[in-house]
Amino acid sequence: MSTVTASSQREHRVTTRSLLRRKRQGRPFSMLTAYDVTFARIFDQAGIDVLLVGDSVGNTVQGHENTLPVTVDEIIYHTRMVARGVSRALIVGDMPFGSYQVSAEEAVRNAIRFLKEGGAHAVKLEGGRRVRETLARIVDADIPVMGHVGLTPQSIHAMGGYRVQGRGDRGRERVLEDALAVEAAGAFALVLEGVPAELAREITATVAIPTIGIGAGVHCDAQVLVQHDLLGLSDWTPSFAKQYANLGSLASQAARQFAEEVADRKFPGDEHSYR
């Protein structure tokens, strides 16, 4: 592809319709989590198609053990930062635990805030059959919704830990029914997390909307990674993730060198000092 074509394509905003087209054309797309303007800008300019302001911010940025403490206000705060760095990618705000479970009305009200105050283009919520009506109500308010089935981290206590879902006949049926329910309710895309690759292949072939895999094998229409796993910024990398860079060790090296140079009076040099 020529540079001119690549850069003119970059100028076109990614939309829910263009993602659907990618599925039909058999052209996989990519999604990364982003929580601030710095990385949102880097990922957007690198051609990442979808930026998810994930509730994984609870683990990665806030230092919580799981995603449950994250609030709507916090996701909106991070979505605003991400929106300032993006000119092409589709921005999806993740609805945190407690923001869509109580009633469909409250869910719609919260989803509206993601678009109005955060600048998101769409929202994501976890669950299959049990969130079907809520999901449909948000779609009815003209807000695109991304579903999320399989291993749903907000259900950590109900699942008894982070466990691969969809194993065995009953498990397979459950995840498949959840995926179909989310599609029927009007979702524009579907995250498949922590399910066997063969089941993800079956769901991807069955639903018309794009599937976005994380720990779900290579047959999905798209893949998502958490920023901190991609960049080596976490204490550990889950087995399903691939670390493409080790920014953690680079940052540590830079900080050590800075500390040493301060101790040795090597920094600041003349070139860093005013005359």
Task: Compose the 171-210 pattern: x for residues touching ligand KIV by CB under 6 A, - for all others.
Answer: --------------------x-------------------
Q: Nearest distance from residue 16's CB to ligand KIV, in Å?
A: 17
- Phi, psi values for residue 211, rounded to 5°: -100, 140
Binding of ligand KIV by 33 (CB under 6 A)? yes
Residue nearest to ligand KIV (CB): 54
Q: Nearest distance from residue 92's CB to ligand KIV, in Å?
A: 9
Residue numbers annotated as active site = 193
Binding of ligand KIV by 54 (CB under 6 A)? yes
Binding of ligand KIV by 224 (CB under 6 A)? yes
Which of 29, 32, 35, 55 is close enough to bind ligand KIV by CB under 6 A?
Answer: 55
Nearer to ligand KIV, 10 or 64 (CB): 64
Q: What is the C-alpha separation between 270 and 275, in angstroms, rounded? A: 9
Q: How many CB atoms lie within 10 A of CB 93?
A: 33
Contact 151, 163 (CB under 8 A): yes
Q: Which CA distances in Å does 113 have to 110, 120, 150, 244?
A: 5, 9, 27, 34
* Only segment of 54-62, 84-92, 115-123, 259-267 that touches ligand KIV (CB under 6 A): 54-62
Q: What is the C-alpha separation between 113 and 110, in angstroms, rounded? A: 5
Binding of ligand KIV by 211 (CB under 6 A)? no
Q: Nearest distance from residue 56's CB to ligand KIV, in Å?
A: 3
Structure tokens belonging to residue 213: 């895999």
Is the backbone peptide bond immediately before 28 cis, with ω within 30 degrees of 0? Answer: no
Task: Compose the 229-268 pattern: x for residues touching ligand KIV by CB under 6 A, - for all others.
Answer: ----------------------------------------
Q: Nearest distance from residue 265's CB to ligand KIV, in Å?
A: 44
Name all contacts of 61-70 with Cβ < 8 Å and 24+ positions apart.
61/35, 66/153, 66/156, 67/96, 67/97, 67/153, 67/154, 68/97, 68/154, 68/156, 70/96, 70/97
Q: Is 82 helix (H, G, I), strand (E, B) or coil?
A: helix
Q: Nearest distance from residue 135's CB to ligand KIV, in Å?
A: 15
Q: Nearest distance from residue 160's CB to ligand KIV, in Å?
A: 19
* Only segment of 52-60, 129-137, 179-187, 197-205 that touches ligand KIV (CB under 6 A): 52-60
Per DSSP, what are the bridge partners of residue 192? Answer: 149, 213
Which of 175, 185, 226, 231 is close enough to bind ligand KIV by CB under 6 A?
Answer: 226
Nearest Cα neighbor of 52 from 29, 69, 24 is 29
Q: What is the C-alpha separation between 19 and 197, in angstroms, rounded? A: 21
Nearer to ligand KIV, 52 or 143 (CB): 52
Residues 6 or more apart whose CB falls under 8 angstroms from that of 184 comprise: 132
Residues binding ligand KIV (CB under 6 A): 33, 52, 54-56, 94, 191, 214, 224, 226
